[in-house]
Amino acid sequence: MSDNTSRIRTIFRSKTTKVLNKVEDPRETLDDSYEQQVKLLQQVRQAVAEVATAKKRIDLQGQEMGTRYQRLGDQAREALAQGREDLARAALERRALLENQVAKLQEQYTALQNQTAQLQERERRLAEQVAAFRVEKETIKATYTASEAQVRANEAVAGIGSNMNDVGTSLERARDRVAQMQARAAATDELLASGALKDLTAAPDADIERQLAALSAKADVDRQLASMKQGDTSTTVDRGPERRRGGPDEWLGIGQAPNTP
């Protein structure tokens, strides 16, 4: 359970680190700032277009009013030439009213013209700032990308990657398990040898045969030792000069009972 919990924590920590690195990536932050500036520039340009449209509409309206203003003046002179002073007066009165309207229209036109000039200047400055920011943004992104690649390369060479701690922990845990398994194998070997554990692959009554063989070997050693104490030259321990002068196959007689003279 503890190994699974540790593994889950490792995976969660790895994913969290990736998310944080993505959020803190300055390249994405710079791109977001650049997009916001571009949107602001588009809004200013749209405002310039709207103001220019309003100014053009007032200009057309002023041209119409100017044409009417000239026509009323011509009508007043023609009526006066024909002796119609009343018509001339009416034309001049309308012309006076129109002149007031034209004056107000001129004020609006001048205000829009000034506003257009201000917006165009702001648009020019903002466009320059956006262009300069774009160059600096790309420079910073390129520098960051190169530095990031260098860090990864250095970490790969030095073996100090961000996941080396987890790798070290896994390696240490594997070493512990290997040591435990080796100790267990040695312990089971000793238990099988001592008879504490039953060898299921051994023949029936193998434990009795093993104990009898051990007793027989001990009895043989005791017999040879007793013979040596009594000075018996027939012992297999030492057969004398003749025994030592045997041929190359003498080793085949080691452990065999001596021949009777």
Which CATH number does the domain housing residue 66 bear? 1.10.287
Higher pLDDT, 94 or 26: 94
Query: 206-258 pLDDT, tens per residue?
Result: 667 777 777 787 788 888 888 888 875 554 444 544 445 556 666 656 555 55
Question: Does 75 lie in the same domain as 130?
Answer: yes
Q: How confident is the model at residue 140 (pLDDT cuts 50, 70, 90)?
A: confident
- Per-residue confidence (pLDDT) for residue 124, from 0 to 100: 92
> Does 133 fall in a domain?
yes
Query: 142-195 pLDDT, tens per residue?
Result: 888 888 888 888 777 766 555 556 656 776 777 777 778 778 777 776 766 666
Beta carbons within 10 angstroms of residue 246's beta carbon: 12
Q: Measured between alpha carbons, how far is residue 218 from residues 36, 64, 192, 224, 257 in Å?
A: 97, 138, 21, 10, 17
The residues near 38 (Cβ < 8 Å, ≥ 6 apart) are 130
Coil, strand or helix at 163: coil
Question: Does 41 lie in the same domain as 137?
Answer: yes
Q: How confident is the model at residue 15 (pLDDT cuts 50, 70, 90)?
A: low
Question: Does 204 lie in the same domain as 134?
Answer: no
Question: Does 159 lie in the same domain as 54?
Answer: yes
- Per-residue confidence (pLDDT) for residue 250, from 0 to 100: 61
Q: Which of 112, 237, 48 is nearest to 40 (CA)?
A: 48
pLDDT over threshold 80, residue 138: yes
Distance CA 199, CA 192 (A): 7
User: What mean pLDDT do residues 9-25 have?
Assistant: 57
Beta carbons within 10 angstroms of residue 236's beta carbon: 16
- Per-residue confidence (pLDDT) for residue 241, from 0 to 100: 47
Distance CA 84, CA 97 (A): 21
Question: Does 160 lie in the same domain as 68?
Answer: yes
Question: Does 216 lie in the same domain as 110?
Answer: no
pLDDT over threshold 80, residue 8: no
Distance CA 81, CA 166 (A): 108
> Does 248 fall in a domain?
no
> Does 126 fall in a domain?
yes
> Does 56 fall in a domain?
yes
Please count the residues of the chain: 261
Query: 104-120 pLDDT, tens per residue?
Result: 999 999 999 999 999 99
- Per-residue confidence (pLDDT) for residue 254, from 0 to 100: 59
Question: Does 68 lie in the same domain as 111?
Answer: yes
- Per-residue confidence (pLDDT) for residue 246, from 0 to 100: 57
Q: Measured between alpha carbons, how far is residue 47 from residues 55, 112, 244 in Å?
A: 12, 12, 122
- Point out the least confidently predicted range of 19-28, 52-61, 110-119: 19-28
What range defines the domain where residue 125 resides? 20-170
User: What mean pLDDT do residues 88-103 have?
Assistant: 91
pLDDT over threshold 80, residue 32: yes
Higher pLDDT, 210 or 61: 61
pTM for the full predicted model: 0.46
Q: Measured between alpha carbons, how far is residue 257 from residues 74, 123, 229, 254 in Å?
A: 161, 118, 19, 9
Distance CA 111, CA 51 (A): 10
User: What mean pLDDT do residues 42-47 have?
Assistant: 91
> Does 177 fall in a domain?
no
What would the DSSP string read from start to end of 173-207?
A: HHHHHHHHHHHHHHHHHHHHHHTSS--TTSPTTHH
- Per-residue confidence (pLDDT) for residue 39, from 0 to 100: 92
Distance CA 42, CA 36 (A): 10
Domain count, the chain: 2
Distance CA 56, CA 69 (A): 20
Question: Does 146 lie in the same domain as 222?
Answer: no
> Does 123 fall in a domain?
yes
Distance CA 96, CA 86 (A): 15
> Does 6 fall in a domain?
no
